[in-house]
Structure 1
Amino acid sequence: MKEKLVFLHLPKTGGTSLHHLLSQSFEQKEICPERYNFLMSMNESDLSQYRFFSGHFSLKDVPLALRNQNVVSVFRDPKERLLSEFYYLRGLTWDFVEEHGIEHAAIAKRSDLLTWLRGQDDIGTILRALAVPDIDQRGEEIFKSEAIESARRSMRSLTAIGIFELFDVTVAHIHATLGLKIPAKTTHMQITPGSGKVGVVSSPFDSSAEKRFERTPQIEEELDRLTELDRQLYDYSRELFHAQVSANGLTLAKALLNLNERIGAERDAVLADYDKALSERNTVTVERDIALSERDIALSERDALSAACDHAKRYPWKYVKHAAKLRLQ
């Protein structure tokens, strides 16, 4: 793998999970803390101390020196990504939104789905992330074709790409391409907005905001309008992804074989630990049964002695006569 890795994390594409997995191949001091689109504001000296850059970056805002390193990204069906973003923002608690001043989340929470969609621009997330240079002529057909071709060139230049809907294959493909060990399992994680902290999905989400809106013809029309450009790029990304996986087949197959062997070894180790624990449990059970048996014998002897004592108290003369006979003998 080249010295540095840049992960272009498009929102709601499983990027936080992939960030977490990739970060395990780097020391904490090698991971750039910048998770938003401000790499250009960092000087060369600051950038040089890090090896892993991961965040909501647009390619045009990634310093050229980093673009020549390993760059990866994951893409998702544009309609599903847009809906996921809406419900994610809508699910944040009001306390959290107000505390961190997340205005776009407040808009989503105050809006129904159709109203929110009508307030979005039609430059898709993929196009905005990959088109170089900057997008500044919205709506013109010439601009659209040029921007899409620019984004396609950028997509082809990426070291590896992934598809959200094929996330397990994506994880294996990206790790294999980078020469990294494929993780045995993935955990769904997401970043807490406004904090930059990554973790397993939890608060600050409001379970009462889980209402799903019916996808009416009007909503479908808005989704089509908003994702027209990104749909072309997403379809292209799937073609590239399958081509990359096919071309990377031998490397990926070897990596998956190593993964299977590692999982098998870990499974055997777990089974061995289980058998050992089972054996120890059986030994403890036998020892317990012996102890219980000895306890029962002791209790039986105690009961016999107690009965003899009670008998002696009730019929003391019998024991006096018996003692006298013993003396005479």
Structure 2
Amino acid sequence: MFRTRLSAPVVFFHIPKTGGVTVHSLLRKKLPARRICPERFNRLQRLSPTQIEQYDLFSGHYDAASISRLPSNSRVISVLREPRARILSLYYHWKSHRPEIAEQNNLAGPRLAHRYGLLEFLRCPEPVIAFNIDNVQVRSMIGRIWVGRNRQFRVDEQVALHQAKEYLESLFDFGITEDLDSFVARLFPRLGFRPPKQVPYRNSHREFKRDKTMQVVKREPITDEIEAELDRLTHWDRELYNFARDLLAEREAAAKRRSA
């Protein structure tokens, strides 16, 4: 564990259902609790400059606009996931909350997941759903996350995609959920941390049997209608995800050439 201050803050831009709980749990083991910002949601604007200065790690469901409030030398990292798989993971994660837990804690997402089947959920106009499933990976990287009444972006879609790609390229590092082990193995030495011998995956369905607030739910078959809705909701996210995979492959190839 690092006892001295880091040379620059680490900011984990945690997009929901991308394996971020695993990354967060590994990062927080490296620093004393007093140097980890407790704000895990998109409310960094509530922190004063004095409060921000005392932390070495920020980790939460932020967006690019919130992160811009942090020190300019921050090392921002993130993880992307295949977008259709991310939506399915979110839906079943929400649905796995026991109904009484969703009601007791006023959890809007889990409550709606229990109310609707998968197709109805994907088509639901409720803002709490749209803000979590409609091209969220692109939207969160272009500023303050926002979904218009007709599911539009703040800017033209192609412009939004271009901005998201530029933002992704500017990150200190990023990975993809489907190869989280490689991301952690590459990232930790760059941060000055010893990488773990094994990446323990957290917040997965395998843990639900041990969590009394959760339940295992049966997955629905993916129909043509569901497939079409998933494609509609992830068109721009899939463009960004494919760009991310290609960029990682290019960087890996360049690293191998340098070490040859």
TM-score bracket, shorter-length normalisation: 0.7 to 0.9
* 1:182 Cα deviation after fit: 1.1
- SS at structure 1 position matched to 2:71: helix
Q: Give the alignment of 1:273-312 within 5 angstroms.
A: none
Q: Identity across aligned pairs (percent)? A: 31
Please give the TM-score of this superposition, normalised by the length of structure 2. Answer: 0.85
Within 1, Cα distance between the matches of 2:71 and 2:178? 28
Within 2, Cα distance between the matches of 1:153 and 1:188? 29
Report what 1:82 is aligned to: 87
Report what 2:251 is aligned to: 244
Q: 1:125 aligns with which of 113, 128, 136?
A: 136
One-letter code of the match for 2:95? R
Q: Which moved more, 1:128-137 or 1:73-82?
A: 128-137
Are residues 136 and 214 of structure 1, via their aligned partners in 2, closer, same or farther at CA, if it must alter by over 3 Å? closer
One-letter code of the match for 2:114? K
One-letter code of the match for 1:147? A
C-alpha deviations, 1:89-143, integer Å up to 9, x for none?
0010112111110011101011100000111437412112101366466537961
Report what 1:225 is aligned to: 232
Count of residue pairs the alignment pairs up: 242
Higher RCO, Cα 8 Å, sep 6+:
2
Is the CA contact 1:6–1:53 (under 8 Å) kept in the aligned structure 2? yes
Is the CA contact 1:40–1:62 (under 8 Å) kept in the aligned structure 2? no
Please give the TM-score of this superposition, normalised by the length of structure 1. Answer: 0.68
Report what 1:183 is aligned to: 196
Within 2, Cα distance between the matches of 1:130 and 1:211? 33
* 1:243 Cα deviation after fit: 2.8
Are residues 21 and 248 of structure 1, via their aligned partners in 2, closer, same or farther at CA, if it must alter by over 3 Å? farther
Report what 2:215 is aligned to: 206
* 1:242 Cα deviation after fit: 2.2
One-letter code of the match for 1:79? R
- SS at structure 1 position matched to 2:11: strand
Is the CA contact 1:9–1:57 (under 8 Å) kept in the aligned structure 2? yes
C-alpha deviations, 1:226-269, integer Å up to 9, x for none?
00010001111112222333444599x9xxxxxxxxxxxxxxxx
Report what 2:97 is aligned to: 92
* 1:8 Cα deviation after fit: 0.5
Are residues 226 and 25 of structure 1, via their aligned partners in 2, closer, same or farther at CA, if it must alter by over 3 Å? same
Within 2, Cα distance between the matches of 1:48 and 1:236? 34
Within 2, Cα distance between the matches of 1:171 and 1:131? 25
Within 1, Cα distance between the matches of 2:145 and 2:15? 17
Is the CA contact 1:132–1:150 (under 8 Å) kept in the aligned structure 2? no
C-alpha deviations, 1:175-203, integer Å up to 9, x for none?
13323211111212239xxxxxxxx6542
* 1:173 Cα deviation after fit: 1.6
Q: Which moved more, 1:180-189 or 1:151-160?
A: 180-189
Q: Does 2:149 correspond to 1:167?
A: no
Gaps of 5+ in 2: 1-5
Larger Rg: 1
One-letter code of the match for 1:241? L
Instruction: Judging by fraction of residues, say which structure has more helix.
Output: 1
- SS at structure 1 position matched to 2:16: coil
